Amino acid sequence: MSQLLARLQGDLNASRKAHDKPATLLLGTVLSEVKNRRIELRRDVVDQEVVDVLRKAIKKRRESVEVYDKAGRSDLADKERAEAAALDKYLPPSISDDEIRAAIAAVIGDGATTIGAVMGKVLPRFKGRAEGGTINAIVREELGKQG
């Protein structure tokens, strides 16, 4: 069992003992998604795959925040924000924008001139440690400086 999965399971058990229903529901949902991923892969998951599941869960909640804000449902938006923040603490520390920018500049310096070419070389380096949308925005910014 991966360390991150064990940590999630331990926190779920602790939330159950503390009768913390929101945390129990959130962690139970995430662990269910991890279990589905394990079934899909037909093997035990490693930490990186658990991180991928967590990132998808956080992304889903952030998208819900936008929808709820547009609909004027601040109560539901706040709930989704809190869940995203609770899940965020399980992710490995993210990479600074400066580190991403340096890697992008190096790839552009090596001759990559399109967004696809740069993203193809940079994204695998930061998989699981930075969001694709953040990397894409920095790539666009850096390529804009070139042109």
**Residue where a domain stops, chosen among 88, 105, 125:** 88
Q: What is the pLDDT of residues 119-143, one digit of tens each?
A: 999 988 887 678 788 888 998 888 8
**Residue where a domain stops, chosen among 88, 107, 138:** 88
Residues 61 and 130 in one domain: no
Angle at CA of residue 47, ends 36 and 1, nearest 5°: 70
**Long-range pairs of 104-107 with CB within 8 A, sequence gap ≥ 24:** 104/135, 104/138, 104/139, 104/142, 105/142
Sequential pLDDT tens for the chain (147 residues) = 789 999 999 999 999 999 999 999 999 999 999 999 999 999 999 988 999 999 999 999 999 999 999 999 999 999 999 999 999 999 888 788 889 999 988 988 888 888 888 899 998 888 767 878 888 899 888 888 876
Which residue range is the domain that position 20 belongs to? Answer: 3-88
Residues 39 and 58 in one domain: yes
* Non-local CB neighbours of 135 within 8 Å, separated by 6+ positions: 100, 104, 119, 122, 123, 126
* Inter-residue contact 82 to 105 (CB < 8 Å): no
